[in-house]
Amino acid sequence: MRDGGRIAAAIEILETLESRHQPVKDAVRDWGKAHRFAGSGDRAWIGGLVLDALRHKLSVSHAMQDGSARSLALGTAGRVWGMSADEIDEIFEGDEHAPEKLSEAERDGLARDISDAPMHVRGDFPEWLEESLVRAFGEAAAEEGRLLSSRAPVDLRVNEVKTEFERAAKEVKSKLKAVHESDLTKLGLRIPLRDPRAKSAAAESIPAYGKGWVEVQDIGSQLAALAAAPKMGSQVLDYCAGAGGKTLALSALLHNTGQVHAWDLDWRRLRAIWPRLKRADTRNVQVHDDKENEALDSLVEAMDVVFCDAPCTGTGTWRRRPDAKWRLKPTALEKRMSEQDTVLERAQRYVKPGGRLVYVTCSVLPEENGDRVAAFLEKTEAFKPVPAIDALKASGGLAEGAEDKLEACVTDLGALQLSPGRTDTDGFYICVLERV
- pLDDT at residue 333, rounded to an integer: 98
Average pLDDT, the chain: 95
Q: What is the per-residue pLDDT across 56-66, written as a single tens digit (0 to 9) for each?
A: 999 999 999 99
Q: What is the per-residue pLDDT across 37-57, written as a single tens digit (0 to 9) for each?
A: 888 888 889 999 999 999 999
- Residue 58 in contact with residue 145, Cβ under 8 Å? no
- Residue 70 in contact with residue 31, Cβ under 8 Å? no
Distance CA 98, CA 223 (A): 46
pLDDT over 70 at 199, yes or no = no
- pLDDT at residue 21, rounded to an integer: 79
Least confident of 188-197, 266-275, 304-313: 188-197
Angle of helix 40-55 versus helix 57-64 axis, rounded to 10: 80
302: confidence class by pLDDT, cuts 50, 70, 90: very high
What mean pLDDT comes out for the span 220-241?
97
- pLDDT at residue 202, rounded to an integer: 77
What mean pLDDT comes out for the span 333-342?
98
pLDDT over 90 at 253, yes or no = yes
308: confidence class by pLDDT, cuts 50, 70, 90: very high
pLDDT over 70 at 379, yes or no = yes
- pLDDT at residue 95, rounded to an integer: 85
- For 115, counting Cβ atoms within 10 Å of its Cβ (0-12 exposed, 13-18 middle, 19+ buried), the class is exposed
Q: How far is CA 50 from CA 6, 9, 199, 373, 391, in A?
A: 10, 9, 15, 37, 41
47 closest CA partner among 18, 1, 6, 100: 6
Least confident of 92-96, 164-168, 236-240, 259-263: 92-96
Distance CA 51, CA 46 (A): 9
What mean pLDDT comes out for the span 64-84?
96
pLDDT over 90 at 87, yes or no = yes
Distance CA 22, CA 18 (A): 9
- pLDDT at residue 161, rounded to an integer: 94
pLDDT over 70 at 200, yes or no = no
358 closest CA partner among 276, 240, 182, 219: 240
pLDDT over 80 at 396, yes or no = yes
- Residue 208 in contact with residue 168, Cβ under 8 Å? yes
pTM of the predicted structure, to 2 decimals: 0.94
- pLDDT at residue 209, rounded to an integer: 95
Q: What is the per-residue pLDDT across 127-181, written as a single tens digit (0 to 9) for each?
A: 999 999 999 999 999 999 999 999 999 999 999 999 999 999 999 999 988 899 9
pLDDT over 80 at 426, yes or no = yes
- pLDDT at residue 192, rounded to an integer: 86
Residue 351: its H or E element: strand 351-361
201: confidence class by pLDDT, cuts 50, 70, 90: low
Q: Which residues contact 20 (CB under 8 A, 6 or more apart)?
A: 27
What mean pLDDT comes out for the span 25-41?
88
Least confident of 192-201, 342-351, 414-423: 192-201
